[in-house]
Amino acid sequence: MLSLSLGLVALNHTRLAIVGFLVAVVVFPIALQFPNEPFLQVEVGLLAATSAGAIAQGVLLRIEFARHRAAGRMSSLA
C-alpha cells in the first residue's frame, strides 16, 4: 500500500492516496465482525483492510497514470 501511495503522491494526487487508507479503515471493523478466534479476527481484519486499500489505490494509480500519459505529461515507459 505504501508504494501505491507514493506513486499517487508522485503524480500530485495526495488526496487520492488517502482514499486507500480510508477504504482500509472502513473495511477493518467489518472484517472483525466475522466469528473467529480473537487473534484470527484481528489478522483477518488487517489482511482485508490492507488488501482493500491496496486494490483501491492500485485502481486509482492506474487511472491517474493513464490520464497523465494521455495528456503528454509522462514519457512512454515500456
pLDDT tens by residue, 52-78: 888 888 888 889 888 888 888 766 554
Does the predicted TM-score (pTM) go above 0.85? no
Domain that holds residue 26: 2-70
In a domain, 26, yes or no: yes
Q: Could you tell me the three cell numbers for 21?
A: 487508507
In a domain, 75, yes or no: no
In a domain, 8, yes or no: yes
**pLDDT at 78 (0 to 100):** 44
pLDDT tens by residue, 44-54: 888 888 888 88
**pLDDT at 41 (0 to 100):** 82
Q: Give the CA distances from residue 67 to residues 4, 12, 34, in Å, rounded to whole numbers and listed in that order.
A: 16, 12, 39
Domains in the chain, number: 1
In a domain, 54, yes or no: yes
